[in-house]
C-alpha cells in the first residue's frame, strides 16, 4: 500500500516454516482471548497446554481444539514434539518456569514483564544464551498496526529527524479483569505503559534518562499507581512523553500517538484502548512538512487483539530458522525493563534517573 509515496503494510506475515510444535503454560485470560485466536488465524501448531488449575487447562484445550491438556510442566517439557513453550502465567511465577523450559532445551516466548527485577530478566537472558535457545518476549504492541506502519515510515525517512514524540492515553481500564494487577504495588508502568516504553524504544532507540511522576485517583481500590507521566531524554534533540490516566469516566476517552519530525508528522489512535479487549482498528495519518499541507490517511486492517499477538511468535520462529535475533529478543527487552525500573526509581526519588544507574 502506498501512503504519500511511502510503502506501508500492516499485514502480519509468518516465516516459511511455522509448524513448530507449541506448548502453552498458563491458560488464563490473555491466552484464551489473544494468543490462541491469533495462532489459529495463522494455522500454528499448538500441541499441548498446562495450567496449575487443571480445569483451566482442560477448558482451554476443549475450546481451542488443542490435542492435549497435560497434568504437569514436566509432562509438557518431556514431549519432544513441543519445540516452543509459550508462557503466560502471573508474572511472579514466570522466571522459575522459564528456567525449566530453558534447561529442557526448548525455545520460549515469555510474557511482559520479562522480570520484575532487572537481575531476573538478565539471568533468564543469560541462561537462554548459554543453553542455545531463543528467548523472545511478548511485547506485541510492536506489531500493532499504528506502530508497525510508523516504523516503516521512519525507516523510509518520511519524518526526517523526530524531535517530539508523544503517547497520550486517557481511558477507563477494567482492572477487575486482572485482580492480581489491581493488588500490585507497581501497577501502571509495570503492566501497561511497559508496552508504550517498548514501542518507543522500537521506534526511536534507547533513551539515556527517564523522569517520571506517578499518582493514584481519589478513592481508587487499586493498590499501585494508575496515573503516570514518563519523560524520556535522548542524546540529541528528541524528547518523548508518555502520559497515561486510567480513570477517565467520560465519553472522551482517547489513546493517541504523535511523532513530529523535520520532514513530516505521523499521528494516530490505538484502537484497542477504546473498548478493551474488543477495541477497533488503529488509525494513522501522515502529513509531509511541505506546502500545500495535506494529511494522508492510512487504511489499516489488522487489530492489536488478536492480530498483533501473532507477531512475537512469528518472529521467534523466524529467529530459530535464520539464527538472527527475534524482534523482541530477551537481550533487547532488557532495555525496556531498565526503562520501566528507571521510571519507578525516578518517581520514588523525585529526580531524573539515567538508564546506566539501572543497567550498571
Q: Name the site residues for ligand NAD (rule: CB under 6 A).
A: 25-31, 51-53, 56, 88-91, 93, 111-112, 138, 140, 178, 191
Task: State the minimum distance, in angstroms, from the CB of residue 137 to ligand NAD.
Answer: 9
Comparing CB distances to ligand NAD, the nearer of 3 and 101 is: 101
Residue at grid coordinates 507449541: 22
Comparing CB distances to ligand NAD, the nearer of 98 and 238 is: 98
Comparing CB distances to ligand NAD, the nearer of 198 and 267 is: 198
Say if residue 113 is preceded by a cis peptide, omega within 30 of 0: yes
Comparing CB distances to ligand NAD, the nearer of 26 and 224 is: 26
140 closest CA partner among 31, 267, 297: 31
Instruction: List the grid coordinates of 194.
Output: 511497559
Comparing CB distances to ligand NAD, the nearer of 25 and 82 is: 25
Task: State the minimum distance, in angstroms, from the CB of residue 209 to ligand NAD.
Answer: 26
Task: State the minimum distance, in angstroms, from the CB of residue 312 to ligand NAD.
Answer: 9
Beta pairing partners, 240: 165, 232
Chain CA centroid to CA 197, Å: 9
Task: State the minimum distance, in angstroms, from the CB of residue 183 to ligand NAD.
Answer: 12
Comparing CB distances to ligand NAD, the nearer of 27 and 355 is: 27
Comparing CB distances to ligand NAD, the nearer of 45 and 52 is: 52
DSSP-derived secondary structure letter, 111: P
Task: State the minimum distance, in angstroms, from the CB of residue 93 to ligand NAD.
Answer: 4
171 closest CA partner among 233, 237, 114, 253: 253
Cβ–Cβ < 8 Å for 293, 312: no
Count of alpha carbons within 13 Å of 34, Cβ hemisphere only? 27
Burial 120-151 (b: 16+ CB within 10 A, else e): bbbebbebbeebebbbbbbbbbbbbbbbbbbb
Task: State the minimum distance, in angstroms, from the CB of residue 96 to ligand NAD.
Answer: 7
Instruction: List the grid coordinates of 60.
Output: 482451554
Comparing CB distances to ligand NAD, the nearer of 270 and 300 is: 270
Q: What are phi and psi of 118, to 5 degrees?
A: -60, -45
Task: State the minimum distance, in angstroms, from the CB of residue 88 to ligand NAD.
Answer: 4
Task: State the minimum distance, in angstroms, from the CB of residue 95 to ligand NAD.
Answer: 10
Count of alpha carbons within 13 Å of 51, Cβ hemisphere only? 18
Comparing CB distances to ligand NAD, the nearer of 187 and 209 is: 187
Instruction: List the grid coordinates of 210.
Output: 527517564
Task: State the minimum distance, in angstroms, from the CB of residue 182 to ligand NAD.
Answer: 11
Q: What are phi and psi of 59, to 5 degrees?
A: -65, -45
Cβ–Cβ < 8 Å for 336, 201: yes
Return the residue nearest ligand NAD (CB atom): 28
DSSP-derived secondary structure letter, 326: P
Amino acid at each position: 500500500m502506498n501512503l504519500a509515496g511511502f510503502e506501508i503494510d500492516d499485514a502480519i506475515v509468518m516465516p516459511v516454516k511455522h509448524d513448530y510444535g507449541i506448548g502453552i503454560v498458563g491458560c488464563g485470560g490473555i491466552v484464551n482471548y489473544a494468543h490462541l485466536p491469533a495462532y489459529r488465524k495463522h494455522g500454528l501448531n499448538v500441541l499441548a497446554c498446562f495450567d496449575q488449575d487443571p480445569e483451566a487447562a482442560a477448558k482451554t484445550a476443549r475450546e481451542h481444539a488443542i490435542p492435549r491438556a497435560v497434568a504437569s510442566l514436566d509432562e509438557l517439557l518431556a514431549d519432544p514434539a513441543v519445540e516452543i513453550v509459550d508462557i503466560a502465567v502471573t508474572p511472579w511465577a514466570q522466571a522459575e518456569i522459564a528456567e525449566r523450559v530453558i534447561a529442557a532445551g526448548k525455545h520460549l516466548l515469555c510474557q511482559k514483564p520479562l522480570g520484575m527485577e532487572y537481575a531476573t530478566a538478565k539471568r533468564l537472558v543469560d541462561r537462554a544464551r548459554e543453553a542455545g535457545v531463543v528467548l523472545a518476549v511478548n511485547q506485541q504492541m510492536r506489531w500493532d498496526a499504528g506502530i508497525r506502519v510508523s516504523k516503516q515510515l521512519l525507516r523510509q525517512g518520511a519524518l526526517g529527524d523526530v524531535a517530539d514524540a508523544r503517547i497520550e492515553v486517557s481511558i477507563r481500564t477494567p482492572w477487575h479483569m486482572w485482580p492480581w494487577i489491581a493488588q500490585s504495588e507497581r501497577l501502571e508502568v509495570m503492566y501497561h505503559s511497559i508496552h508504550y516504553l517498548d514501542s518507543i524504544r522500537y521506534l526511536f532507540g534507547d533513551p539515556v534518562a527517564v523522569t517520571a511522576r506517578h499518582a493514584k485517583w481519589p478513592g481508587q481500590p487499586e493498590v499501585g499507581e494508575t496515573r503516570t507521566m514518563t519523560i524520556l531524554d535522548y542524546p540529541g534533540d528528541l524528547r518523548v512523553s508518555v502520559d497515561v490516566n486510567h480513570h477517565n469516566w467520560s465519553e472522551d476517552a482517547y489513546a493517541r500517538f504523535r511523532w513530529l519530525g523535520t520532514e513530516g508528522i505521523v499521528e494516530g489512535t490505538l484502537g484497542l484502548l477504546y473498548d478493551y479487549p474488543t477495541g477497533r482498528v488503529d488509525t494513522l495519518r501522515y502529513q509531509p512538512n511541505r506546502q500545500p499541507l495535506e494529511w494522508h490517511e492510512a487504511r489499516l486492517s489488522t487489530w492489536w487483539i488478536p492480530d498483533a499477538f501473532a507477531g512475537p511468535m512469528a518472529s521467534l520462529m523466524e529467529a530459530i530458522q535464520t539464527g538472527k535475533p527475534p524482534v523482541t529478543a530477551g537481550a533487547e527487552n532488557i532495555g525496556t525493563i531498565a526503562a520501566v525500573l528507571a521510571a519507578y526509581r525516578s518517581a520514588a526519588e523525585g529526580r531524573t534517573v539515567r538508564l546506566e544507574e539501572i543497567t550498571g
